[in-house]
Each structure stands twice: as structure tokens, then as C-alpha cells.
Amino acid sequence: MEHEAPHYLHQLPVPGEERYVSLALVNTRFALSHGPVDLLDDAEAAHLWLVRHELLADRVALNGRQFGRLLGLREALRSLFEARDARSVPPGESLDTLNSALAAAPSTPRLAWTTDGPHRADAPDTGNPAGAALSLLADDATELLTGPESPQLAPCAAAGCTRWFLRSHAARRWCTTKCGNRVRAARAYAARKGR
């Protein structure tokens, strides 16, 4: 008998995750009707997630300390996203965590030459693969928080949803059509019940 993957692994990706892996990292912890889900619930799951997102080679193990730093970065990013959305100053420890991850494997500028011609490429220090993965995630988040798409970063407005996404237009309020449909169905039910 084949084992089916848990239904939460079939969650639709939210807009922006394909461009910003840091957004995908924040969305590894979310809630469903049966309770909270954490796609990084242990070091093995975190390793697999990093490999699937091409941030870590499969042969490189992730130890407990590195796993803890990844989870710490995820929570710091969530805090920074919330501060960005609220237009407030984030907690100092969240900034410290992000900046520490940025410094974990400083990149070295390089000149790369492709068929399109020369361009600058920053190569992270490969002597510390897990540190390089954290540094790349932190750099990606920094680009998201400071770049031109920063104003589109938004939390899903559906009750109980904890995911973040990039709005494609100002009126978009939900991370997926599934959340939007759930909200509309709840409104319709409340309206029928109120009559």
C-alpha cells in the first residue's frame, strides 16, 4: 500500500515564494484547521527543505546548532515582515539575527562571464555550507525588505492563516484563492444565518 503525503504538503505556493526563498522560509510554519504545521519540525526536515531550495548540497549534514540558527532566522524574518507591514521598528534581536546570518558566510565579489557578457557575481564562502545557506537566506530577505517589491509584502487576511505573500495588486488580501474562497464562504454562511 502506498503512503500518501500529508495534505499540508499540497499547500499552494503563495505569490512571491518563487522569487524570494526567504518568503518560502517564513511560510514553512503555518496553521490549518487541525492545528499548526511546521515543515521544519526537525533537523532532517530542515536539511531536506534547504536541499530542495538549492541552498545546501545533499551530502552536507545539518547539525543541531545550525538547525537552531535556521529556525531563529525564520522567526526573525517573520518579526521583520510584521514590523515592515506595521511600519514600525522591529525588535533589535530580530535585526541582530538577520545581520548575524548575513555575516555567517560573507560573499566575495567576482566577475562572471556568460553568453550575455560580463556581470558581477557575489560568491558566498563555501567553507561553511550551512552558514552560506543562512547568509543567502538573509541576503534574500534583505533584498525583499528593501527592494522595489517591499511595499507588496503582506500577511494573508484570512482568519487563521499565518502565511505571507507578495500582492500582485493593491486589492489582493489573501495568499491563495483557497483562503479567499474560505473567507467568502464564511461570510455567505454568516449572512444566511443572520437572516
pLDDT by 10-residue block (mean), the chain, 195 residues: 48 88 96 87 96 95 95 98 96 97 85 91 81 94 96 92 92 85 71 73
DSSP characters over 96-135: HHHHHHHHSS-EEEEEEEETTEEEEEEEEPTTSHHHHHHH
| pTM, 2 dp | 0.84
CA distance 181 to 158: 10
For residue range 68-119, list pLDDT tens digits in order: 999 999 999 999 999 999 999 999 999 999 999 999 887 788 898 999 999 8
- 12 DSSP assignment: P
Determine the pLDDT at residue 11. 65
Question: Which pLDDT score, from 0 to 100, does residue 3 have?
Answer: 45
Helix (H) or strand (E) holding 188: helix 177-194
Instruction: Find the largest Cα–Cα distance for the chain.
Output: 68
Question: Contact 122/145 with Cβ under 8 angstroms?
Answer: no
Instruction: Provide the pLDDT for residue 121.
Output: 86
**Sequence ranges of the domains in the chain:** 14-150
For domain 14-150, say whether CATH 1.10.3300.10 is its number.
yes
CA angle 28, 33, 36 (to 5 degrees): 35
- The pLDDT, as a whole number, for residue 74 is 98
pLDDT at 71: 98
